[in-house]
Amino acid sequence: MGQMITLTAADGHEFGAYQAGFADAPRALVVVQEIFGVNHHMRAVADGFADAGYLVICPALFDRAERGVELGYTPEDAKRGIDLRQRIAHEGTVADLLASAEAPGHEKVGIIGYCWGGALAWAAATQTTRFAAAVGWYGGGIAATKDARPNCPVQLHFGADDDHIPLTDVEAIRSAQPGVEVFVYEGAGHGFGCSERPSYNARATAQAQERSLAFLQHAL
């Protein structure tokens, strides 16, 4: 239901983004990709939020390294995604997120991300002042900056059985950020929200999505 558009970051970098929803949607949301690019799953996620009444921008963050990347979920795909991420300066990625926030033309814009995108949603909340709300699903590495001050309301979701993010990290985040909503889902692993991955957990996904939508609706 969406389409690819071209956006330009403050440093002049042009990149693709998947846009879904109507221009007059009451709310706007930046959806941030996993380490696998703006693939079939991320477009479906964007479409789902569009159906919920959002104008959605899902930026192709890998375009700074290689354009048009759409990966699957094999170990080889994961390795390639990590390699691409390492070729991109964090400052460039943040610039792309900020450009994506401007695209809808809404004063208030939310951000939600998954995997790498979950960590980027936290970065957007703590390193910029553009977003009115941020949601992260299984964002790795957040514990390393757990003491950073969010500039907007934040909600985080983790799987209790995530082999990439130990529960000690989750508890460290919870302790350092009493104002942040942190949810942990029993029996859920990394990537539990992606139906195309073996770790998909329908129960955890439904509960996390319900909480995310309620949080975003209240904040935006």
Q: Which residues are catalytic?
A: 115, 162, 190
Task: Give the C-alpha separation, 43 to 45, whole Å.
Answer: 5
Q: Can you tell me whether residue 36 is helix, strand or coil? A: coil
**Separation between Cα atoms, residue 68 and residue 52, nearest integer Å:** 27
**C-alpha span between 74 and 203 (Å, rounded):** 23
Hey, what are 92's tokens?
Answer: 């460039």
**Amino acid (one-letter) located at 154:** V
Element (H, E) at 116: helix 116-127
SS3 113: strand
